[in-house]
Amino acid sequence: MPLTTHHILTLEVRRQDAEALAAAIGEEWNTSVIHLERPNHDRAWLELYFDQPAQAEIAAAVLGQRRGVLGHGIRQESPRDWQTFWRHHFHTTLVGDHLRIVPVWERDSAGRTPRGRKTIWLDPGLSFGTGEHFTTRFCLEMIDRLVPQRPGRARVRSMLDIGTGSAILAIAARLLGAEKVIGFDHDAIALEQARENVALNRLRGKITLSVADITEQPPKGSFDLVCANVYTTILLQIAPAVCACSGRYLVLSGIRDPELDQVSMAYAAQGFDEMVRDGNGEWGGLALARRRKE
């Protein structure tokens, strides 16, 4: 099967405007927007992926004139280019006490899974959920802490992954013992790679993945654990829907460090109290538990 060429529109913006623009553009164009930054740089770059060059050109004509966009350009890139990138930047890593993440190109050299750990085989494709970025790693560490059954603690049997991307969080929860795992993403291309990763880990039929916009299609049912690794603006918008379907725990990330208090207060107002807060000075994450009724 020939490799599909992706046409990538890059928008240059001011760093302080990037998150709000990414969220607005993603919602308006119904697509994932990749947010890229460089340390100590006052500019940021937003990337949108298209299958057809005409789609990228139309988006460039519209978004290139948008207030806050300082410049733009279109380039072509194939999955093989991304594979080369990931081979240089993504390697086998241990997370928490129970997880090991192995890229598919290190399968032959990975050796046996260390005792007490579960191995996640991963092909990132065009997604960015590898566990390397702080936001994904924080979620993995919280899943590693909350899902495995321990004496004196109620078992986490179900998990909802909002913005599943590569499906790495959903796979981790399933491998660690969650029996019902559902992943949502509004990007159909991301879900194609997610399904491949589910199959790589022999979990086909054990994880449900679907295209859905959480802002328009609130999840039904109740889940012991809900993870959402999305932008702060989205986390604030979906707080009532997320809290309504979480029976016990919430893990939230994709939050700029200065915005942690705002997100924590929004979810506290919905009946969830902060358990864990962590950050790297730029990005942060929160783990919360449903407040007990007195």
**What is the model's pLDDT at position 2?**
45
**What is the model's pLDDT at position 143?**
96
| Residue 63 and residue 202 in one domain | no
Helix (H), strand (E) at residue 141: helix 134-146
Q: Is position 256 within any domain?
A: yes
Helix (H, G, I), strand (E, B), or coil: what is residue 101?
A: strand
Structure confidence at residue 214 as a pLDDT band (50, 70, 90): confident
Indicate the number of domains in the chain.
2
Domain boundary among 77, 96, 119: 77
What CATH number corresponds to the domain at position 227? 3.40.50.150
Q: Between 207 and 20, where is the model more confident?
A: 207
Helix (H, G, I), strand (E, B), or coil: what is residue 57?
A: helix
Beta strand 208-211 with 69-77: parallel, antiparallel or unpaired? unpaired
| Residue 271 and residue 212 in one domain | yes
| Residue 135 and residue 276 in one domain | yes
CA atoms of 219 and 75, how far apart (whole Å): 36
| Residue 30 and residue 136 in one domain | no
Q: Could you report the per-residue pLDDT of 230-278, keeping only the tens digit for each? A: 888 889 989 999 999 998 999 999 888 889 999 999 999 999 999 999 9
Q: Is position 133 within any domain?
A: yes
Indicate the angle between helix axes 260-268 and 232-245, nearest 10 degrees: 20
Identify the domain containing residue 204 by its residue range: 127-290
| Residue 69 and residue 131 in one domain | no
Q: Is position 13 within any domain?
A: yes
**What is the model's pLDDT at position 81?**
52
CA atoms of 282 and 117, how far apart (whole Å): 30
Global pTM value: 0.72
pLDDT above 90 (res 102): no
Structure confidence at residue 290 as a pLDDT band (50, 70, 90): very high
| Residue 38 and residue 136 in one domain | no
pLDDT above 90 (res 293): no
pLDDT above 70 (res 126): no
CA atoms of 32 and 20, how far apart (whole Å): 14
234, 23 Cβ separation under 8 angstroms: yes
| Residue 164 and residue 261 in one domain | yes
Q: Is position 55 within any domain?
A: yes
| Cα 177 off chain centre by | 20
Indicate the angle between helix axes 18-29 and 232-245, nearest 10 degrees: 60
pLDDT above 70 (res 80): no
| Residue 56 and residue 156 in one domain | no
pLDDT above 70 (res 120): yes
Q: Could you report the per-residue pLDDT of 9-35, keeping only the tens digit for each? A: 999 999 888 888 988 898 888 887 888
Contacts of 68 (CB under 8 A, 6+ apart): 13, 14, 17, 21
**What is the model's pLDDT at position 215?**
74
Mean pLDDT in residue range 94-109:
82
Domain boundary among 77, 100, 118: 77
